[in-house]
A and B are shown apart, each in its own frame.
Chain A
Amino acid sequence: MLFEIHQPFRLKKYRFYDIGADHYYYDDYANEEILKRLAYQSYIPASKMLLEMIEASNKKFKVALSISGVAMEQFEMYCPEFLDCVRELVATGCCELCCETYSHSLSSLVDAEDFKYQVEIQKKIISDTFQYDSKTFVNTGFIYNDEIGAEVAALGFKGIITEGTRHVLGWKSPNYVYATAAKQDVGLMFRNTKLSEDICLNFQYGLDAGQYMGWIADSPAEEKVYLIAMNFDVIGGMNPESSGIFNFFKALPYFAEQKNLRFATPAECWENISPIAVANVGHPISWDGYDKDVSSWMGNDLQNEAIRAIYSISERLHMSNNEILRQDFAYLLSADHFKFMSTKMGAYVPFSPYDSSFDAFTNYMNIVSDMEIRLKQEFPEEVENEELNPLLKQINEQGKVIEALQAQLEKAEKKLDEKKAAAKKPAAKKPAAKKPAAKKEEK
């Protein structure tokens, strides 16, 4: 079982006349309100429930969490007690933390450099906050294709998780561990769409824990792994406590015991189960909607233009040392901003803070314009990226070069001193004789 936790930094209304004048982009009120509401309704009670389940089942219940970097930062700011809950979970040894991109971004599809950077940052944050080394990678919205697989494999992960999309799997079952096309020893697991969506989308229509585990127990014995994944706020947020969602989850370990099923973390799966076959995924897939592709993020002209605009400054930005600018850039990469511009379901997107997809676009582009101006102040526009790179290198390395030269100089001086000292030993008494005179002058 895997739960996703992510909240973007929602942007405030940013008018065109703020461009170049106001460099703060976030709607603090909305961010705090939404995060706290969800934390108290869902995240905290749900993580306490998980802890209870682990303890009650004698550590037989296992779970995996994936928390985006931007969400973690918001928790630190507004609701640090949730991070303590996660720490407790991790301490039981039954909870795996998966790694994703820091911003919950689309960089995997657009900008390989930035992707690498973001994953490394996120890895570092996880190890700093929870002293945990992630072995499993979960991309934004479970987006995956072979290229992403290769990139992730190169970053040293043991396995990747994606969606059990029908049009990719075809006759194959999602309930096995597969291998990525790039590297055979990196595992690939597909989410069981049906079992996951039964909970996250259709729970309201009634679902019984015994029956649910029965479905898994009754399936062919060779099918070993059932990956059930959803957003964490499905528990308590989308389905309030009164819907019985908490009791449903609490009953799962009991029925698993009864039906002889075991829980495992993804890391255990990579360890213990050898891949049955290589899975090839040409076009990117995701867990989103009915189409299971990336069209919710990159489906129309507005989205593509916004993505182009923000990633066009990426290379230059990574050269900058301006931490605040880099931080703003990372926050702006959250995939949610692009999802708010979707027109798949008409002009308004559910859960969007904007009235329409084009309002979202306007706001976002105004902010990107401001980012461009700030970046220009950092580096003059006339200098090309290619030129800039060696220049910056020179500047950055200047320090080192100076240090090295200084060291040399010191060495040389020392040598010189030694030589002088050796040569002037007989005359060494002279300065000592002059001392009283010097003292007089000071007075």
Chain B
Amino acid sequence: MFGWEWPPHILGGLGPASYGIVRGVVNTGECDVTFVLPKPQGDEIKDFVHIIGASNTPVVWKDVDWDYVQKRQGHVMDPQEYYDLRNCIYADFSNLYTNDLGCIEFSGKYPKNLLEEINNYSIVAGVIARKELQHDGFDVIHAHDWLTYPAGIHAKQVTGKPLVIHVHATQFDRTRGMCDANDPTFKIELDGMNNADQIQCVSELTRQTVINHYHQDPAKCIAMHNAVEPMSKEVLDMEAKRGTDEKVITFLGRITAQKGCEYFVEAASRCLQKAPNARVVMAGNGDLMEQMIHLVAQKGLADRFHFTGFLRGKQVYEMFKVSDVYVMPSVSEPFGISPLEAMQCGVPSIISKQSGCGEILDYCFKCDYWDIDAMADAMYALITYPELHKFMQEMGRNEVNQITWEKVGRRVVDAYKRLLGWS
């Protein structure tokens, strides 16, 4: 598998999702997984998976002795593996900038020269694919998100093994449908999809985007919904720090056009007019934050609207703990894990019908992102009728607890088998 993020070094939603899928797949007992990362730090969780770092893989032959390799990168890779990889160098890459071990440096993040890094990643993938084929052998290549599609394609060309790509998001969604065929990201995505033997999408919504906007064969696209890690006991036991007994309605996420923040403000302000005992929190930041603050001020509701800025780590769960209603009004959301997390914390959720996670959730309110009346109505109902709140809390929690990565892993493995013609 090719990925870009791995816990504990997480920058977005890709890391936890990749982690969950790998854990689920390994858990079936039918698969071993080698996971390629641009730049492992050494403290990755790797008790069930073999991790290879692209930044530790040589592409230029350097004559270095065992002790030196051990000293330089023994914490992330066994020196023997370094030599095995070195034997698989397939072309002369000495024109590239490499270090003393013949490796290309990666940031492992999302730097300015991301496209160059993606290209380098695919060069390294060629080496790794050859080595894996020679030593252990493998059956399927699985590439997570567009960053790794070129690597997946390259590995497929080198080894002839089928390529599965996992669409966590599309450029079409990110730009609200405003991308053209010259957009480099769009091009890479399209190329990946054209070369893929199977396309796993995180929701039916994304699958439809892939079919309609990337013109893929519906037969090779399957919906592979995400799941959610069970909450740690530490988080569940966390005390809610409530200053008032007023009800709290929460928006949590980037304050950008894609997340539908302006619809949230409109809906929440309608709700506040009728429900004076409520407060609204907008957590997160983004390019529309200032606009939202102005909008709230115009409506004269600034005393009941609170902007917290970006929340990290535990703060997110603290926010959930003091919330009564969670709202995710995204205009377009491939999956959207946060309502699931909110529901785990016992916060009833309202989500837009344009969110992928809605496909696997029954016990949350769903409305169109533009239907602020319906959204406001659901908010009002949840803070006004205690029985409803209790009901949604219990049913939602039960439902979310059924959505596990183990089940996702099972489905991924079954999809592999179908692809390989084993079942």
Contacts and interface: CB of A to CB of B under 8 A. Distances in A.
A365 B385 contact: yes
A358 interface: yes
B392 interface: yes
Contacts of A359: 365
Contacts, number: 60
Contact of B377 (A304, A346, A362): A362
Contact of A365 (B271, B273, B363, B381): B381
Interface residues of B, number: 23
A352 interface: no
Contacts of B274: 16-17, 19
A348 to B, nearest CB: 8
Nearest to A16: B380
A358 B392 contact: yes
Contacts of B362: 346-348, 356
Nearest to B378: A362
A301 B380 CA distance: 19
Interface in A65-82: none
Contact of B273 (A17, A300, A343, A366): A17
A366 B383 CA distance: 12
Contacts of B390: 301
B395 A15 contact: no
A358 B365 contact: yes
A19 B385 CA distance: 14
Interface string A338-354: 00000100111000000
Contacts of A343: 395
Determine the main DSSP class of B at the interface with A.
Answer: helix
Determine the main DSSP class of A at the interface with B.
Answer: helix
A299 to B, nearest CB: 12
A305 B388 CA distance: 9
A347 B399 CA distance: 11
B78 interface: no
A355 interface: yes
A366 B377 contact: yes
Contacts of B388: 302, 305, 358, 361-362, 365
A342 to B, nearest CB: 12
B84 interface: no
Interface string A298-311: 00111011000000
A354 to B, nearest CB: 11
Given A305-B387, A355-B366, A362-B381, 18 more contacts: A15-B374, A16-B384, A300-B391, A301-B387, A302-B387, A302-B388, A304-B387, A343-B395, A348-B362, A356-B362, A356-B366, A358-B392, A359-B365, A361-B381, A361-B388, A362-B377, A365-B388, A366-B381
A-B residue pairs, 10 tightest by C-beta: A305-B387, A362-B381, A347-B362, A16-B380, A15-B377, A301-B391, A365-B385, A302-B391, A301-B387, A16-B377
Interface of A: 15-17, 19, 300-302, 304-305, 343, 346-348, 355-356, 358-359, 361-362, 365-366, 369
